[in-house]
Amino acid sequence: MAARDLAKYILPRRVYEHLRWERQLIGCSGFGAKSLEKTYRSILHEIDAKALDRLRTQVRSDYERDPKSAAKYPDHAFWLRSAIVQAARAGLHAGPSRRILDLGCGPGYFLAVCRHFGHEALGIDIPENFFSDIERLVYDQMFYAHRCKKQSLLIRPYEALAVDGTFDLISAFLVCFNNHKRSDEWSRAEWEFFLDDALSHLRPGGRLYLGLNNNAARYGAMTWYDAPTKTLFSERGNVKGSTVVVERPA
Ligand SMILES: C[S@@+](CC[C@H](N)C(=O)[O-])C[C@H]1O[C@@H](n2cnc3c(N)ncnc32)[C@H](O)[C@@H]1O
């Protein structure tokens, strides 16, 4: 058993959780597990956390039936902390106010975190009629609780993003718009079109920040992409595991 797995069983749960978040925050310039807790508590006061708790009770049986469905999202103890970690890793806990576009924003945690850190954030997600019943219920109620802004837009291969203006950051976490886990999951050519288009929506010096979704069944040890796609990401920016960062030259 790996030391990390062993720690889960021998350490008190609180200590284990603290160390797990701390590890994820390595390199976040002064933002560690204590800052995470402080930020988490503050954001709970800014959103309607009670509505999320009620929703969690409402969808408990959906969650038990399918723990990977959208019914998992009202668990803010995990998902809000994850979004804070994502924001800190993208450097959003410090520095000037930025204009952010979050693709595939789902329940809107990341948008709520961006607002907390003083940024202006807009979410993009598929139109309502594409949602499953549980996604519609959870995403609608959570968006209301988070009081965030969203535009409906279906991202398709080889189609430019129909969004107005330019952004300092375009983000996407647990990316699914690449037809994730479908037989037509994007390959290098679709990603190349997407990167060119996304960069055209960035201000000079702006960044595209992607957190790719695991598809080890398709990619084996490479987990998130095939070799040509990884080469593209490396040619255009930095790729480290699931994270791809591409900058528009200033
Ligand atoms: C796994 S969820 C991730 C949600 C959120 N980013 C997070 O990190 O928790 C993927 C999101 O992408 C959205 N999505 C999937 N396909 C899309 C597409 N073609 N265009 C826009 N959004 C899409 C889904 O509706 C869902 O909200």
Per-residue pLDDT tens digits for 13-49: 888 888 889 999 998 988 999 999 999 999 999 999 9
Pocket flag, ligand 1, residue 143 (CB < 6 Å): no
Between 110 and 16, the higher pLDDT residue: 110
Structural fold of domain 30-247: Rossmann fold (3.40.50)
Pocket flag, ligand 1, residue 101 (CB < 6 Å): no
Q: Would the pLDDT of 4 be above 70? A: no
pTM: 0.94
Decide if 191 contacts 232 (C-beta within 8 A): yes
* Cα-to-centroid distance, 130 and ligand 1 (Å): 11
pLDDT score of 85 = 97
Tens of pLDDT, residue by residue over 145-189, are 888 889 999 999 999 999 999 999 999 999 999 999 999 999 999
Select from 80, 86, 125, 155 the residue to mutate for testing ligand 1; criterion: most ligand atoms less than 8 Å from CB. Answer: 125
Q: Compute the distance between CA of residue 220 and CA of residue 143 in angstroms, rounded to an integer.
A: 35
* Cα-to-centroid distance, 233 and ligand 1 (Å): 20
Of 103, 116, 47, 110, nearest in space to 81 by CA: 110
